[in-house]
Copies of this chain bind each other. A is one copy, B any other.
Amino acid sequence: MNLNYHSKLLEAAVAEFSRLPGIGRKTALRLVLHLLRQEKETAEALGNSIIRLCNEVKQCNICMNISDSDTCHICNDSSRDHSIICVVESIKDILIIENTQQFRGVYHVLGGIISPMDGIGPGDLTITALEKRIKQGGVKELILALSATMEGDTTNFYLYRKFHAPDLFMTTLARGVSVGDELEYTDEITLGRSIVNRIPFEVKEQ
């Protein structure tokens, strides 16, 4: 549907919306017409929040998480264990891990993973900043929480080669059968790894 919008303002808004991922021109038009039907304040609130976001949001100068101030709330939190750094690809991973409420250490956002196919090398990631944090001392454990893909494994290997030392414990996320999954529907590679890396059976006393 290649419509002629006649209104330059409408056309501009549709064009901008359709640059967002997963939003085509048809959806963009639906969103724009929805905004036109709303009170002027509703549309302005959306526009202003986008402009404020891109102008005011900062990057934490320690872990590269997004933050409203120079250092993020996690790096500023003295009740967290700053000797354990969890290395993640993106800020979204921090949101997801924080949501589990199982981790009380701090993070480091790599900003991607090594992927020669996409032209992303170690130099494009925040590995130098991570090196600086480790050299400052006090870091006991580095958790590599990257994707379980070939690129993730490559990056894990690179980081291991770069940072492994007797006084730095390097770990990675456990791979295995998902909680609630039936064995029948678990893929062979995951099942194979979970047999090789089997763990002692424990009965927790309530």
Judged by a CB distance under 8 angstroms, whether A124 is at the interface is no
Complex: chain B residue closest to A50, CB-CB: B47
Q: Report chain B residues within 8 Å CB of A99.
A: 1-4
Question: Given A10-B66, A29-B95, A43-B51, 14 other A-B contacts at CB below 8 A?
Answer: A3-B95, A4-B99, A6-B73, A6-B98, A9-B56, A9-B57, A9-B68, A12-B52, A19-B46, A32-B53, A33-B90, A36-B57, A44-B54, A48-B51
Q: Report chain B residues within 8 Å CB of A34.
A: 20-21
Chain B nearest CB from A9 CB (Å) reads 5
State the oligomeric state as a number of copies: 2
Complex: chain B residue closest to A6, CB-CB: B73
- Interface size of A by CB at 8 A reads 59
Tell me what chain A mostly uses at the interface: helix, strand, loop, or mixed.
Answer: helix
Chain B nearest CB from A202 CB (Å) reads 29
Which of B21, B45, B47, B53 is close to A48, meaning CB atoms less than 8 Å apart? B47
Docked CA distance A15–B67 (Å)? 17
B54 touches A7 (CB 8 A): no
A53 touches B35 (CB 8 A): yes
